[in-house]
Amino acid sequence: MRHRFHVDVTTVTETDAKDIVTTTTTYTKIWGELHPVDLRESDVLNRSVIRPSHRLITRYRADLPDSFTLVLQPGLRRFTNHGELNVDERNAELHILLTEIPKAE
Q: Are strands 3-14 and 69-72 parallel, antiparallel or unpaired?
A: antiparallel
3-state secondary structure of 1: coil
Instruction: Look at the domain 3-101 and name its fold.
Output: Thrombin, subunit H (2.40.10)
CA 98 to chain centroid, in Å, comes to 6
pLDDT digits (tens, 9 = 90+) for 4-36: 999 999 999 998 888 999 999 999 999 999 999
- What pLDDT, on the 0 to 100 scale, is given for residue 5? 92
Name which of 13-22, 23-32, 53-62, 75-84 the model is least confident about: 75-84
Using alpha carbons, select from 52, 55, 56 the residue that is nearest to residue 5.
Answer: 56
* Contact predicate 54/100, CB 8 Å: yes
* Contact predicate 82/52, CB 8 Å: yes
Q: What are the residue ranges spanned by the domains of the chain?
A: 3-101
- Integer Rg of the chain from CA: 15
Tell me the pTM.
Answer: 0.76
